[in-house]
Each structure stands twice: as C-alpha cells, then as structure tokens.
C-alpha cells in the first residue's frame, strides 16, 4: 500500500536519518558500510522480517570483495571461519563455446607484459610458430584451479575471491553494524508514505503500526523494489532480449568431495548449471529459459547432475535481467536486486552491492539530496551494469553449439553495439581493452573471448621482433608458474588449516542463504 503524507524530506534538507528497507546481503552490506564510515554522523535503522524468505543464490564473489573487506576492517580468517567460506581463483566454463569443451576465466594475469605490450601478443606469435602450450599455463590462478591448489602468498600473489554462505554473511555483517549503532527493527512494511508535490518518501509504516521516518531510504527489498518501484514507479529497463534465462531452480547438497577453488558453470540445452562449494555444503542450481525448458525438467536435471545428498528440496526462482532506470530516485537508493539483476554467471551480484555502498559513501548527500549527486550516482551505476551485461551476453551469443534451439536463438539474437565493438576490435586486430573502474580486466575479456572460440586475425607485430629471445621468454615464465603452483598445498588442506570451523558455528536458526526477497 502506498500513501501520500503531508511532510517529507525534500531537496536541500540535511540527511541524518537513514532507513534501510530489507536485510539479507544487500541490507547488511549497506548498514555495515555506512556505519563504518559514518559512525556517529548518521542515525541508521534497518527493518527486516524473519518471516520473509530468501533468494539463496548469492554465494560466489569476485576479487574486489577482498579489498572491500579490508576497507571495512574485516578480519579475513574470522570472516571465513564464521561464514563457512572457501577460496575462489577462477570460474570454470564447460560446454559453452562448443559441446564437450571447457575453459577457465582465472582471476589473474597471463604472463608478464614486455615493452608495454600485453603478454598474449607474444603467445599468439609463438602459437603461430608452432607453440602447443595453452595460454592458461602462463597464469598462476589458471594452473591453481586446474590442480585444485591454493595458499595465501605474495610475490607472486595468487588473486582470489570467496565462496561463502550468504545467510551467515548477513548475520556476520549485522553483528558489526549493530556494534556501531545500527538499529534493527523486526517487521513487515505495510505502507510507504510519500509527500504530495515532489513525492519524496517520508516514512515506512509497519504492520505492527510502528512508523519509521527518515531523510534517505535504501531499498533492499529484492526484485519487488517496494520503495524504488512500488512507491516511486521508477521503471525497469528489460534486458531479457539479451539475457533470455528467466528462471532458476536451486538446492544445496551435503559435501562429499573436497571443495575446488573455483565456481563451476556447466552449460546445458537451455541455460546452465552452477556448483559452488562452501565448507559445509555445496550450492547447486540450474538457470534456464522457460521457453525451452520447464521447471520440472530443470528440477530433474538439477537433481541428476548435482550429486550428493540434498539439504532440502529444490526451489524455483523467477528472474528478470535488467536494471532500474534510476538506481537513485528522489530520496530512495536501490541496492542489490532492487536496483537490477544480471544473472549470476560471472558472480557479480554481491559485487554490485558493495560498489553501490562505496558509491553512496563517496556521494553521500549530507547537505541534502540534489540532482547533481543523484545524476552522478545513476550514471556510474548505469555504466557499471552495462559493462557487466556485455561481458555476460558474450558467453551466450558467441557460441558454436548446434545441439539445441536455445543456443541457435542466442547466436542469432541482436547484441549491444558496445559488445559488438569490443569483439570486433579483438577479431580484427587482437586488441583487448578495459577502462578505468571496469570490473573485468583485459585478461578477463581475453579468457572468455578466446574461450568462446573468437580468434584474432592478427596481433601486435612488435611481438614478432623478438624471435630469438621468444622461446626462452615463454619457457622461463611457464616454468616459474609451474614451480609456484606445484609448491602450493591443496585448496582443501589450506582451507582446513586456515579457516576450518565446527558445524556449530554455521547454524542459523531458521536461516537460509541469500538476499532477502520481498
């Protein structure tokens, strides 16, 4: 229910009271971040209901979360122990480019650049001269994933992210946020009260009758977007014509094999299946396009291919790729699923929550909400989500699978011009780029571009001028990577030694993994 009220914060009014609607990963990341940076400056209240279910798919991350945690003062070993976390150095893709093949998207760099030229140009030249060694063997993270090895080290550093239980993560962040003064209110939102005239949100009325008034509201209510869409009618930019998977079924299984240091993404006839290992269980799911596969078929596929004893029955999730037309509208800022959704193929959902938090901290409207700050926030959000969208669309469109109508449809669909330009730059001249503040690096784009069998017609010919030294250059670097990785312990052994914990630490009364969905 949406009502108008007589008064509400408007442009120019100082912002001191922040109300976060919704908990889960998005809500508690927002609460933890704001309370860490603005302790004593803001009155922060978070409202959530234990009765409301959770999505349960956000358990895999990308490397920037490591720096995010450091900025918040989170102790890595303690976090990993409390959240049943494991390490992640890559994403494994199987059956994407062609049926029966595989490739890795590692979180590191291929080789070392020389004379300001990316290493892959030298590899392309060496391949032209007969080299049979995969590009991945020049990357520490690629080889660590293949060999199931990992350890924390420097010089060279092994880049990593995490797999973790999202319900435990929300609980973990909640503890620190409440220690910094964040007030948690249990309850369901009944009414969003807005003001006549400018439509700014004034307060939330709960089913209990309690009123929560604020100057700035953060919407973490999931796909529904109770404030950003329900109250403000912001609108949604639909991307399903580029990302056609509209459903997922998910469940968790008990651990029966050592956890691998990567997320596995196996393509099937109408989408793909994920496998995410944490310490006490494995998260499994099937993402699919309902035009080509039914929910019952997806459930059967999930159960057949996941293996292990299920923790509970699979549940269905309806998804819709796209973004809110404004992530910040009036005095409401949307985080997580409320702001938009790009399917979990490249594990970016939690990342976009953390970047939203840091963006809001940098642009926080202490002096009052104004169009300049709001427009800058929205532009940065749009740019980030569109670049991630293009990267994910590339996996679907550039396929050579002939076994299923779904893949033919993906191959024939129109794609964003921004993606087509990137791919053609690589195809025509071997040129890969990544702009400032983009999530995916040159090496990330290279991994997926070549993994999807997109080959450059030429490369930077400077790499061909070092013919006499090239063999030694390539051999030495490959040997160094192998020496470092071979000396690492297994990933499972390192996790047990570094952050293993008893199952009692992982029990969440009534808890599920994932972001709150309202």
DSSP 401-463: --S-HHHHHHHHS---HHHHHHHHHHHHH------TT-SS-HHHHHHHHHHTT---S---GGG
Pick 503 or 314 by higher pLDDT: 314
Report residue 53's pLDDT band, with 50, 70 and 90 as the boundaries.
low
Report residue 465's pLDDT band, with 50, 70 and 90 as the boundaries.
confident
Question: Nearest to residue 56, comparing CAs of 510, 489, 513?
Answer: 513
Choosing from 336, 355, 386, the residue where a domain stops is: 386
Query: Is the pLDDT score of 505 beyond 70?
Result: no
Query: Is the pLDDT score of 512 beyond 50?
Result: no
pTM here is: 0.93
Q: Do 168 and 81 share a domain, yes or no? A: yes
Q: Do 125 and 260 share a domain, yes or no? A: no
Cα separation of 55 and 502, whole Å? 25
CA-based diameter of the chain, in Å? 79
Structural domain that includes position 113: 90-154+398-493
DSSP-derived secondary structure for 72-98: HT--HHHHHHHTT-EEE-EEEEESSSS
Q: What is the pLDDT of residues 407-459, one digit of tens each?
A: 999 999 999 999 999 999 999 999 999 988 899 999 999 999 999 999 999 99
Q: Do 126 and 143 share a domain, yes or no? A: yes
Q: Do 483 and 421 share a domain, yes or no? A: yes
Kindly state whether residue 440 falls inside one of the protein's structural domains.
Answer: yes
For tokens 């890559």, the residue is 90
Kindly state whether residue 504 falls inside one of the protein's structural domains.
Answer: no
DSSP-derived secondary structure for 225-283: -IIIIIIT---EEE-TTTS---EEEEEEEE--SPPPSEEEEEEETTEEEEEEE-SSEEE
How large a percentage of the chain has pLDDT more than 70? 93
Q: Do 62 and 185 share a domain, yes or no? A: yes
CATH of the domain at 211: 3.50.50.60
Report residue 6's pLDDT band, with 50, 70 and 90 as the boundaries.
very low
Q: 190: burial class by Cβ within 10 Å (0-12, 13-18, 19+)?
A: middle
Q: Which residues are catalytic?
A: 88
Contacts of residue 422, defined as CB under 8 A and 6 or more positions apart, other chains included, come to: 390, 432, 433, 445
Q: What is the pLDDT of residue 156?
A: 95
Q: What is the pLDDT of residue 276?
A: 95
Query: Is the pLDDT score of 251 beyond 50?
Result: yes
Number of domains in the chain: 3
Q: Do 350 and 472 share a domain, yes or no? A: no
Q: How does the average pLDDT of the chain come out, rounded?
A: 92
Q: What is the mean pLDDT of residues 452-470?
A: 85
Q: Do 115 and 51 share a domain, yes or no? A: no
Kindly state whether residue 373 falls inside one of the protein's structural domains.
Answer: yes
Choosing from 365, 386, 407, the residue where a domain stops is: 386
Q: Do 26 and 169 share a domain, yes or no? A: yes
Q: Do 194 and 251 share a domain, yes or no? A: no
For tokens 């009260």, the residue is 193
* Cα 293 from chain centre: 25
């Amino acid at each position: 229910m949406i009502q108008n009220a007589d008064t509400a914060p408007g442009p120019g009014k100082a912002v001191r009271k922040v109300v976060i609607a919704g908990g889960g990963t998005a809500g508690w990341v927002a609460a933890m971040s704001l309370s860490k940076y603005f302790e004593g400056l803001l009155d922060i209240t978070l409202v959530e209901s234990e009765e409301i279910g959770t999505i349960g798919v956000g358990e895999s991350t990308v490397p920037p979360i490591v720096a995010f945690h450091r900025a918040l003062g989170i102790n890595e070993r303690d976090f990993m122990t409390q959240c049943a976390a494991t390490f992640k150095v890559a994403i494994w893709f199987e059956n994407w480019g062609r049926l029966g093949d595989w490739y890795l998207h590692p979180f590191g760099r291929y080789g070392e650049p020389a004379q300001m030229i990316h290493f892959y140009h030298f590899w392309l030249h060496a391949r032209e001269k007969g080299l049979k060694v995969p590009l991945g063997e020049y990357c520490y993270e690629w080889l660590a994933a293949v060999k199931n090895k990992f350890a924390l080290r420097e010089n060279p550093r092994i880049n990593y992210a995490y797999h973790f239980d999202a319900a435990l993560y929300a609980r973990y962040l909640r503890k620190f946020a409440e220690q910094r003064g964040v007030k948690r209110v249990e309850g369901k939102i009944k009414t969003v009260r807005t003001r006549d005239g400018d439509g700014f949100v004034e307060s939330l009325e709960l089913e209990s009758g309690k009123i929560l008034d604020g100057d700035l509201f953060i919407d973490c209510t999931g796909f529904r977007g109770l404030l950003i869409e329900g109250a403000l009618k912001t609108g949604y930019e639909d991307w399903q014509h580029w990302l056609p998977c509209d459903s997922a079924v998910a469940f968790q299984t008990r651990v029966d094999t050592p956890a691998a240091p990567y997320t596995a993404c196996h393509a099937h006839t109408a989408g793909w299946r994920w496998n995410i290992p944490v310490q006490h269980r494995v998260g499994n799911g099937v993402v699919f396009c309902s035009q080509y596969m039914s929910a019952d078929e997806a459930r059967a596929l999930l159960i057949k291919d996941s293996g292990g004893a299920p923790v509970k029955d699979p549940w269905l999730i309806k998804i819709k790729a796209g973004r809110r037309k404004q992530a910040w509208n009036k005095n409401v800022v949307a985080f997580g699923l409320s702001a938009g959704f790009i399917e979990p193929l490249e594990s970016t959902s939690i990342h976009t929550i953390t970047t939203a938090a840091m963006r809001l901290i940098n642009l926080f409207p202490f002096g009052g909400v104004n169009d300049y700050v709001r427009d800058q926030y929205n532009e940065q959000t749009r740019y980030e989500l569109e670049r991630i969208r293009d990267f994910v669309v590339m996996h679907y469109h550039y396929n050579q699978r002939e076994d299923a109508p779904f893949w033919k449809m993906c191959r024939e669909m129109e794609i964003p011009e921004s993606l087509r330009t990137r791919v053609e730059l690589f195809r025509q001249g071997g040129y890969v780029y990544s702009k400032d503040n983009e999530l995916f690096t040159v090496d990330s784009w290279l991994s997926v571009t070549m993994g999807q069998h997109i080959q450059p017609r030429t490369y930077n010919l400077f790499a061909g001028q070092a013919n006499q030294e090239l063999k030694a250059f390539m051999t030495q670097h490959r040997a160094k990577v192998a020496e470092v990785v071979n000396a690492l312990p297994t990933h499972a052994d390192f996790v047990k030694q570094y952050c293993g914990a008893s199952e009692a630490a992982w029990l969440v009364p009534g808890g599920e993994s994932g972001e709150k969905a309202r």
